[in-house]
Homo-oligomer: A and B are copies of this chain.
Amino acid sequence: MTVQQERTDVPLSKDPDVPEPTGGEPRFKRLSAEDRAGELVRAGLEVLATGGITAFTIYNICKKAGASRGLIGHHFGGKDGLLAACYAAAYAPLLQMLQAGSGTLELPDMIDELFSARHFRRDGLNIWLALWGEIAVNPALQAEHLRHYRAYEAAVTQSITDFARAKGRKVDAATLATTLIALLDGLWLELCIAPGLMSLERARHAVLSLLEPQLGPLP
């Protein structure tokens, strides 16, 4: 498999005749531990979106973050630590959106938000594809996933429950939530691996065709 890798690798001048290249230019920017960790996570997610899990290497990530290769070990203890942090960072926007404000998100608003251009984007969703493949075979990551997944499912179930009650409908909200989540995942998948055949509008229509027979028209 050909993974071409432009090694830039500007070699530090080892020649004692030229100890310092130029004047006072600082050689690197010093960040707080928090900021640097954030930068590395951001770079890690970018790498996952671009090249999948096989491109998730210390070399690629540090190059993208413009940092030295030792930093991942220093801030996350190793590659696995960074991957876990990237996973949490990928889940955060979804959970944050679902628990927006103080209480539960209204179901129609939730649908709108899920199919906003902010969430339904290929580059962002590629990250999930890369992570799913790893979760399936990595028990530690799977355990971490389950924690987040339960929160996700609970929030969706709550939105469905509230909506059904307001409309006077009786549904099995938990089952419907599971089904909705599965459908969403499948639609995201199609957008990523068969782009051109899936679109935001088609996906939204698919979701409504699942929900409306059980919940009535969604505004």
Q: Which residues of A contact B (CB under 8 A)?
A: 1-2, 50-55, 78-80, 83, 126, 129-130, 132-138, 142, 145-146, 149, 175-176, 178-179, 181-187, 189-190, 192-194, 197-198, 202, 205-206, 209-210, 213-214
Q: How close is A144's CB to chain B, nearest CB, in angstroms?
A: 11
Identical chains bound together, number: 2
Tell me whether A137 and B1 are in contact (CB under 8 A): no
Q: List 7 additional A-B contacts (Cβ < 8 Å) besides A129-B136, A149-B193, A175-B202.
A: A1-B80, A54-B134, A145-B193, A175-B209, A185-B190, A213-B213, A213-B214
**How many angstroms from the CA of A55 to the CA of B83 in the assembled complex?**
17
Contacting residues, chain B, for A197 (C-beta < 8 A): 146, 149, 178
**How many angstroms from the CA of A136 to the CA of B133 in the assembled complex?**
12
Tell me whether A189 and B186 are in contact (CB under 8 A): yes
